[in-house]
């Protein structure tokens, strides 16, 4: 499976994803993953940024609210359209191109920084995606991205729960098996049946790469590792929103910031 085949799958899931994400059912993104990503993000005020694999643009707009001038790309047309328009009529249009992360339609060294929220993990050509992101960064610019944590999102993954249903562990296995790429059907777990009605489940690839492969791909792209994050809900959030309390059992997400060396 290559990036274009993955793109075709995203194309078919984009509408349901946009509808449910904008309905507030992507709770891990909204409550845990994105807030910690933004906390780790350096000051981007006045900088030119690129968001790679922007989806419906929610996170791109949050970065723009921090004062950056944002451009975005997504491989899927329905996502690009949704991201451009935003949610409300008065939302400012976002410049969004339809392009693959492997063929970014920008000259070398165009951007001060790039973000990729949960999108690089969807590209089978991991090394090429990191090289291409590095190509469009100015010397001294950074790439910050989030992925499912390679150490817990393995091909074998089973939730272990107490009799009362509380999650206590995740059984993982087949860590070193990167192929074949599996296609899985799912909905956001927080979406109730009435929200799912009339929508087809997402049908998307689950691409697993080992932690060593990710880190070596970054280094081979000529980027320097700078900062890491493993988002987790704190006590207050777990009490208010118990549906994300399982983020405390094992790390679900990994955040990495790396930088292109200055010339």
Ligand X SMILES: C[S@@+](CC[C@H](N)C(=O)[O-])C[C@H]1O[C@@H](n2cnc3c(N)ncnc32)[C@H](O)[C@@H]1O
Among all residues, whose Cβ is closest to ligand X? 55
Structure letter (DSSP) for residue 251 = -
Q: Does 54 bind ligand X (CB under 6 A)?
A: yes
Binding ligand X by CB under 6 A: which of 32, 36, 49, 58? 58
Distance in angstroms (rounded) separating the CA atoms of residues 137 and 2:
24
What is the H or E stretch that residue 118 is in?
Answer: none
From candidates 44, 94, 96, 123, binder to ligand X by CB under 6 A: 123
The minimum distance between CB 26 and ligand X, in angstroms, equals: 7
Q: Does 94 bind ligand X (CB under 6 A)?
A: no
61 binds ligand X (CB under 6 A): no
| Minimum CB distance to ligand X smaller for 171 or for 185 | 185
Smallest separation (angstroms) from ligand X to the CB of 74: 5
Q: Specify the 3-state DSSP secondary structure of 261.
A: coil
Residue 159 CA, chain-centre distance (Å), reads 22
* Among the residue ranges 41-49, 118-126, 162-170, 218-226, the one whose residues contact ligand X (CB under 6 A): 118-126
* Helix H or strand E encompassing 39: helix 34-40
Count of all residues that appear for the chain in the document: 263
Please, which residue, 15 or 210, has the CB nearer to ligand X? 15
**At its nearest, how many Å lie between ligand X and the CB of residue 131?**
13
Region binding ligand X by CB under 6 A among candidate stretches 85-93, 94-102, 151-159, 229-237: 94-102
Residue 119 near ligand X by CB under 6 A: yes
Distance in Å, CB of 85 to ligand X, minimum: 15
Contact 143, 223 (CB under 8 A): yes
| Main-chain dihedrals φ then ψ at residue 45, nearest 5 degrees | -50, 125
DSSP secondary structure, 65-116, as one string: TTT-EEEEEES-HHHHHHHHH-SSTTPPP--EEE--TTS-SS-TT-EEEEEE
**Tokens, residue 168:** 């206590």
Can you give the binding site for ligand X, defined by CB under 6 A?
3, 6-7, 10, 29, 53-55, 58-59, 73-76, 79, 100-102, 117-119, 122-123
């Amino acid at each position: 499976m290559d990036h274009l085949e993955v793109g075709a799958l995203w194309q078919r899931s984009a509408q349901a994803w946009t509808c449910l994400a904008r309905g507030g059912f992507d709770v891990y993104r909204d409550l845990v993953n994105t807030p910690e990503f933004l906390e780790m993000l350096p000051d981007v005020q006045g900088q030119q940024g690129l968001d790679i694999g922007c989806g419906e643009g929610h996170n791109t707009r949050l970065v723009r609210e921090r004062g950056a001038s944002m451009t975005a790309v997504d491989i899927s047309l329905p996502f690009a359209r949704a991201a451009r328009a935003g949610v409300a009529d008065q939302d400012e249009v976002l410049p969004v191109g339809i392009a693959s992360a492997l063929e970014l339609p920008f000259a070398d060294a165009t951007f001060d920084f790039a973000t990729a929220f949960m999108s690089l993990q969807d590209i089978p050509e991991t090394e090429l995606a990191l090289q291409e992101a590095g190509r469009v960064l100015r010397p001294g610019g950074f790439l910050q991205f989030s992925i499912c944590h390679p150490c817990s999102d393995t091909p074998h993954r089973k939730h272990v729960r107490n009799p009362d249903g509380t999650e206590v562990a995740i059984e993982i296995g087949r860590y070193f098996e990167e192929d074949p790429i599996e296609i899985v059907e799912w909905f956001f777990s927080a979406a109730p049946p009435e929200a799912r009605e009339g929508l087809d489940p997402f049908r998307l690839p689950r691409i697993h790469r080992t932690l060593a492969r990710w880190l070596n791909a970054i280094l081979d792209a000529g980027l320097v590792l700078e900062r890491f994050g493993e988002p987790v809900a704190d006590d207050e959030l777990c009490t208010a929103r118990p549906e994300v309390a399982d983020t405390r059992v094992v790390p679900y997400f990994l955040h990495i910031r790396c930088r292109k060396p200055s010339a």
